[in-house]
A and B are shown apart, each in its own frame.
Chain A
Amino acid sequence: MTETTTPVTRFAVPGRIAVSGPAASRWQTATLTEIRRETPRASTFRLAVPAWAGHLPGQHLMLRLTAADGYAAQRHYSIASAPDASGHIELTLDRVPDGEVSGWFHTVARPGDTVEVRGPLSGFFAWPGDRPALLLGAGSGVVPLMSMVRHHRARGLTVPLRMLVSARGPEDLIYAPELGAETTPVFTRSAPPGVPVGRMTAAHVAPLLAEQPAGGWEAYVCGSNAFAEHVSRLLVAAGQPVDRIRIERFG
Chain B
Amino acid sequence: MNVTRGFTGRPRVENPGLPPGQYDAREDWPVLSAEVTPDLSPADWSFRVDGLVERPHTWDWDAAHALPASAYEGDIHCVTGWSKFGVRFGGVSLDAFFGVVRPQGSATHALAYSHTGYTANLPLADLTGGRAWIVREYDGAPLPPEHGGPARLVVPHLYFWKSVKWIAGITLLDHDEPGFWERNGYHARGNPWEEQRYSGD
Instruction: Tell me which residues from 169 to 201 in chain B have a Cβ below 8 Å from any Cβ of chain A.
Output: 169, 171, 180, 183-185, 198-201
Contact between B32 and A251, CB atoms less than 8 A apart: yes
Q: Is A116 an interface residue (CB 8 A)?
A: yes
Complex Cα spacing A158 to B201, Å: 39
Complex Cα spacing A5 to B52, Å: 12
Contact between B36 and A15, CB atoms less than 8 A apart: no
Which residues from B are CB-within-8-Å of A113?
4-6
Contact between B34 and A125, CB atoms less than 8 A apart: yes
Min C-beta distance of A49 to chain B, whole Å: 13
Contact between A66 and B185, CB atoms less than 8 A apart: no
Which residues from A are CB-within-8-Å of B50?
2-5
Kindly supply a per-residue 1/0 record for chain A positions 23-49, scoring 1 wherever the CB is within 8 Å of any chain B CB and 0 otherwise: 011110100000000000000000000
Contact between A21 and B200, CB atoms less than 8 A apart: yes
Candidates B9, B30, B82; contact of A249 at CB < 8 Å = B30
Contact between A74 and B3, CB atoms less than 8 A apart: no
Contact between B200 and A25, CB atoms less than 8 A apart: yes
- Closest B residue to A116 using CB positions: B2
Contact between B184 and A123, CB atoms less than 8 A apart: yes
- Closest A residue to B28 using CB positions: A251
Contact between A67 and B80, CB atoms less than 8 A apart: no
Q: Choose among A4, A7, A21, A100 the residue with the greatest number of B CB atoms under 10 Å from its CB.
A: A7
- Closest B residue to A15 using CB positions: B184
Closest 10 CB pairs of A and B: A19-B185, A25-B200, A7-B113, A10-B117, A251-B30, A108-B6, A225-B31, A11-B35, A24-B198, A11-B116
Q: List 30 A-B contacts (CB under 8 A).
A: A2-B52, A4-B51, A5-B171, A7-B171, A9-B118, A11-B36, A11-B116, A14-B184, A19-B185, A20-B185, A22-B200, A25-B198, A26-B200, A66-B7, A67-B3, A70-B1, A76-B80, A76-B81, A98-B10, A108-B5, A114-B2, A114-B5, A115-B4, A121-B185, A124-B184, A229-B37, A233-B36, A246-B34, A249-B32, A251-B32
Instruction: State how many residues of chain A have any CB contact under 8 Å with chain B.
Output: 63
Complex Cα spacing A100 to B51, Å: 46
A21-B199, A65-B9 given; 8 more Cβ-contact pairs under 8 Å: A14-B184, A18-B184, A25-B201, A66-B4, A67-B4, A67-B7, A104-B6, A115-B4
Complex Cα spacing A76 to B177, Å: 27
Instruction: State how many residues of chain B have any CB contact under 8 Å with chain A.
Output: 50
Candidates B9, B169, B200, B201; contact of A67 at CB < 8 Å = B9
Which residues from A are CB-within-8-Å of B7?
65-67, 73, 104, 108
Q: Is A8 an interface residue (CB 8 A)?
A: yes
A249-B31 CB under 8 A given contacts A29-B2, A72-B21: yes
- Closest B residue to A231 using CB positions: B36
- Closest B residue to A60 using CB positions: B80
Q: Is B41 an interface residue (CB 8 A)?
A: no
Candidates B9, B34, B168; contact of A124 at CB < 8 Å = B34
Contact between A73 and B9, CB atoms less than 8 A apart: yes
Min C-beta distance of A102 to chain B, whole Å: 12
Contact between B35 and A122, CB atoms less than 8 A apart: no
